[in-house]
Amino acid sequence: MTVERILPSDEAYELLELTREIAEGELAPRAARYEERGEFPRDVLRTLGQAGLLGLPYPEADGGAGQPYEVYLQVLELLASKWVAIAEAVSVHTLSCFPVAAFGTERQRKSLPDMLGGDLLGAYCLSEPQGGSDAANLATRAVRDGDDYVLNGTKAWITHGGHADFYNIFCRTGGPGAAGISCLLADAATPGLLPQKPERTMGLRSSAPAPIVLEDARVPADRLVGEENGGFRIAMQALDAGRLGIAACAVGLAQAALDHAAAYAKDRTQFGKPIAAFQGVGFMLADMATQISAARALMLAAARLKDAGRPFSTEAAKAKLFATDMAMKVTTDAVQVLGGYGYVSDYPVERYFREAKVLQIVEGTNQIQRMVIARSLTRD
Ligand SMILES: Cc1cc2nc3c(=O)[nH]c(=O)nc-3n(C[C@H](O)[C@H](O)[C@H](O)COP(=O)(O)OP(=O)(O)OC[C@H]3O[C@@H](n4cnc5c(N)ncnc54)[C@H](O)[C@@H]3O)c2cc1C
C-alpha cells in the first residue's frame, strides 16, 4: 500500500524514491535467503553507503547528507519494509557514528567521512552479559597505562560484532555508577579485541549480535571520546536518537505485514467469499492500519522535536514503546489472517513475527521505556 507522506523538501521526496528503488531492487530479492542462511550482507551496506543513505542525519560538512531526522526515519521505514535487519543495521551504524560526530576531537572527526559514507562500519558496545538494562553498572574496565588504556571485560549482544571496523566501547575508568564510565573508540584490529561466535537468534539472523571479549586490549588514550568518566551521557544521548530508529524499523516491518495480510485476505476465499469480506478479518486489518498510522505519527512528532532542537527524549521513548508493541501485535495478527499459511516459512509473515519481538527488547526494553516516561511525569 502506498503511504501518503508530507515531506519537508523536494530532495526528501527524491531520497525516498531512491530508497524505494534500492529496497525493492537490492533488498527484497535477498532478504529471505540471507535470513535463512544467517549471512551478513556487508555488500548491501556498502551499496547503501554509496547511495548516501548511511549518514543521512549528519551535517554535509562531516560527510553526511544533512537531512532532518524525520526524513532519515522514513528512509529507515522503507528499508525495514523490505528487510528489517538491514534497517536495524543502518540504525545501529548511525547511532555508532554519534559519539565521534557529537563529542569527537578534531583528529577523531577526520574519520567521519569514511564512517558516514559506509566505508567504515560501526558498533555500539554498552550491554554486558550480567546486565543490559542496568547499563550504569557495567563492569568492563579500562586502566590507563602510559599512552594507552588497557581494557578487560566482555561486551554482550553487539550488533556488527565481528563485522564492524570501529567499536564504541563504554567502559569503567572511574568509580561505580554512571559517573565512572568512559567511551573509547577502538579499531577492529586492536589486539585483544576478540569477537566471539554470533548468537543464534530468533530473528534478524542475517545480522546476529556477537559478544566481544576484551583481553588486555590496548586502545590509545587519544581515542577517548569526550571526557574521561563522561561516557554515560554520550551513551544515553546516542540511545535517545537511536530509539527513534528502532521505532522506524517497527513501523516499516508492521507495514510490510499489513500489506501482505491485506493482499492475502483479498485473494483467499472461504465460504465462497474473499476472507477480507468477513468483518472479523476486515476489522482486524482496519485496526492494524490504524495502529501503524498512530505509531508513524508518534515517531514523526518526536523526530520533529529533535529537528527543532527541542527536548525529545520522553517522546522518543513513547514512540519506541508504542511502535514496537504495535509491530508485535500487527505481525501476530498478520499470521492470524493467513491462517495455517501464516505459520510456515513459504510466506514472509512468520519471519516478520519473529523479527518484531526483538524490537521490544533492543535499545532499552519496553519496560525501561515506561520507566523513562513515568520518570518524566513525576520530575520536578
Ligand atoms: C538482537 C540484539 C541486538 C542487540 N544489539 C546491541 C548492541 O548493538 N549493543 C548493545 O550494547 N546491546 C545490544 N543488545 C542488548 C540489548 O540492548 C539488551 O538485551 C537489553 O538492553 C536488555 O538487557 P538484558 O538482555 O541484559 O536484559 P535484562 O536487563 O536482564 O532484563 C531482563 C528483563 O527484566 C526487565 N527489567 C530489567 N530491569 C527492570 C526494571 N528496573 N523495571 C522493570 N523491568 C525491568 C527487562 O525489561 C527484561 O524484560 C542487543 C540485543 C539483541 C537481542
> Is 315 a residue of the active site?
no
**pLDDT per position as a tens digit, 196-215:** 999 999 999 999 999 999 99
Instruction: Name the pairing type of β-strands 148-158 and 210-220.
Output: antiparallel
Distance 243 CA to ligand 1 centre (A): 13
For the cut 90, the answer to whether the pLDDT of residue 137 exceeds it is yes
What's phi and psi for 311, nearest 5 deg? -60, 135
Q: How far is the C-alpha of 97 from the C-alpha of 26, rounded, in Å?
A: 24
Q: For the chain, list the strands marked E by DSSP.
A: 122-125, 141-145, 148-158, 166-172, 181-187, 193-195, 210-220, 224-225, 269-270, 273-274
- What is the SS3 string spanning 288-347? HHHHHHHHHHHHHHHHHHHHCCCCCHHHHHHHHHHHHHHHHHHHHHHHHHHHHHHHCCCC
> 47 and 221 in contact (C-beta within 8 Å)?
no
How far apart are alpha carbons 35 and 321 in whole angstroms? 25
**CA-nearest residue, atom 15 of ligand 1:** 157
**Which pLDDT band holds residue 218 (cuts at 50, 70, 90)?**
very high
Amino acid letter, 13: Y
The confidence score (pLDDT) of residue 35 equals: 97
Of all atoms in ligand 1, which is nearest to the CA of residue 161? 8
pLDDT grade, residue 281 (50/70/90)? very high
Whose CA is closest to atom 38 on ligand 1?
133
The rounded mean pLDDT for the chain is: 97
Give the separation between CA 140 and CA 151, rounded to whole angstroms: 7
Ligand 1 neighbour 352 (Cβ under 6 A) = no
Q: Is 156 helix (H, G, I), strand (E, B) or coil?
A: strand
Rounded mean pLDDT, 36-58: 96
Q: Give yes or no for residue 1 having a pLDDT over 90.
A: no
Nearest protein Cα to ligand 1, atom 48? 365
Q: Cα–Cα–Cα angle for 35, 40, 42, nearest 5°?
A: 135
> Which of 88, 96, 137, 157 most suits a substitution to test ligand 1, by most atoms within 8 Å of the C-beta?
157
Q: What are phi and psi of 8, to 5 degrees?
A: -80, -10
In this prediction, residues 332-361 reach a mean pLDDT of 98
**Is residue 133 in contact with ligand 1, taking CB distance under 6 Å?**
yes
The three cell numbers locating residue 220: 590509545
pLDDT for 42: 96
Q: How confident is the model at residue 43, as a pLDDT?
A: 95
Q: How confident is the model at residue 379 (pLDDT cuts 50, 70, 90)?
A: confident
Q: In testing the pocket of ligand 1, which one of 95, 133, 181, 199 has its CB within 8 Å of the most ligand atoms?
A: 133
Cβ of 127 closer than 6 Å to ligand 1, yes or no, is yes
Q: Regarding beta strands 181-187 and 166-172, do their DSSP bridges make them parallel or antiparallel, or are they unpaired?
A: antiparallel
- Which among 233, 187, 221, 223 is positioned nearest to 108, based on CA atoms? 223
Give 5's pLDDT tier (boundaries 50, 70, 90).
very high
- Which atom of ligand 1 is nearest to 159's Cα? 8
DSSP 8-state secondary structure symbol assigned to residue 41: -
* Cα–Cα distance for residue pair 327/252, rounded to 1 Å: 9
Q: Which atom of ligand 1 is nearest to the CA of 364?
A: 21
Q: Which pTM was predicted?
A: 0.98
Residue 131: per-residue pLDDT: 87
How high is the pLDDT of residue 156?
A: 98
From the CB of 204, is ligand 1 less than 6 Å away? Answer: yes
The residue contributing the CA closest to ligand 1 atom 26 is: 132
pLDDT digits (tens, 9 = 90+) for 35-46: 999 999 999 999
For 141-200, how does the pLDDT look when each residue is reduced to its tens digit (9 = 90+)?
999 999 999 999 999 999 999 999 999 999 999 999 999 999 999 999 999 999 999 999
CA distance 72 to 247: 12
The pLDDT of residue 92 is 98
E-only strand ranges, 221-271: 224-225, 269-270
| CA 18 to chain CA centroid, nearest Å | 20
